[in-house]
Chain A
Amino acid sequence: NAGVTQTPKFQVLKTGQSMTLQCAQDMNHEYMSWYRQDPGMGLRLIHYSVGAGITDQGEVPNGYNVSRSTTEDFPLRLLSAAPSQTSVYFCATSGLAGVNEQFFGPGTRLTVL
């Protein structure tokens, strides 16, 4: 089992460009989430989903969109990239143990110029 996978590992964008960060899991977990991690800021929740067809906003949702058409995939879309979105993005899932025990993907390092 691959667990939680994220693509790409690294990405450089210019201001105003759009892109989609991919997240896939083979753990059959209903709950999936996206966090961003900035130096000295810890991890902050962007969006989350409790199952296919259901998404909701976290602490810092502005500038990001998500959708959940399948249990396995939870892509994060940047509509018009800004330098403030330069960060490391982590996708995470959790199963029956609840949100307190989350499994993180390897992360995507995004730089917006």
Chain B
Amino acid sequence: GQSLEQPSEVTAVEGAIVQINCTYQTSGFYGLSWYQQHDGGAPTFLSYNALDGLEETGRFSSFLSRSDSYGYLLLQELQMKDSASYFCASSGGGADGLTFGKGTHLIIQP
């Protein structure tokens, strides 16, 4: 089985940088994904780390350390539209889908 832990809520200021952490315990692990979900909307894919290190996609970056069973999502130059819930998720390598963390609600203050 797999379980992923992330903070329930994070608050940051517009224009700043925020990091959302995710720790995992898995019996099999092939990588860490991140999804964004606005209130009332569907989850949308942000990034995937199969290997240790940093992946950068515009203002968003994601990091993975397999030795520490840890990853994070880094959001830079925060905008009000970044207010959403962010989920980390992992797969066991097979085709059986993703296990999601419970999500981090990001609140951005002006």
Known A-B contacts A100-B33, A101-B33; A45 and B42 likewise in contact (beta carbons under 8 Å):
no
Expressed in whole angstroms, the Cα–Cα distance for A48 and B91 within the complex equals 13
Against B, the Cβ 8 Å flags (1 = close, 0 = not) of A45-71 are 100101000001011000000000000
Contact A45 B103 (CB under 8 A): no
Known A-B contacts A42-B102, A43-B100; A99 and B45 likewise in contact (beta carbons under 8 Å):
no
Contact B97 A99 (CB under 8 A): yes
Contact B100 A31 (CB under 8 A): no
Choose among A31, A48, A102, A103 the residue with the greatest number of B CB atoms under 10 Å from its CB.
A102
Stretch at the interface among A16-24, A78-86, A104-112: A104-112
Contact B100 A44 (CB under 8 A): yes
A74 within 8 A of B: no
Expressed in whole angstroms, the Cα–Cα distance for A35 and B87 within the complex equals 14
Contact A43 B43 (CB under 8 A): yes
Expressed in whole angstroms, the Cα–Cα distance for A103 and B96 within the complex equals 15
Against A, the Cβ 8 Å flags (1 = close, 0 = not) of B19-56 are 00000000000110100000001111100101000000
Question: Interface on B for A, CB 8 Å cutoff?
Answer: 8, 30-31, 33, 41-45, 48, 50, 87, 89, 91, 95-103
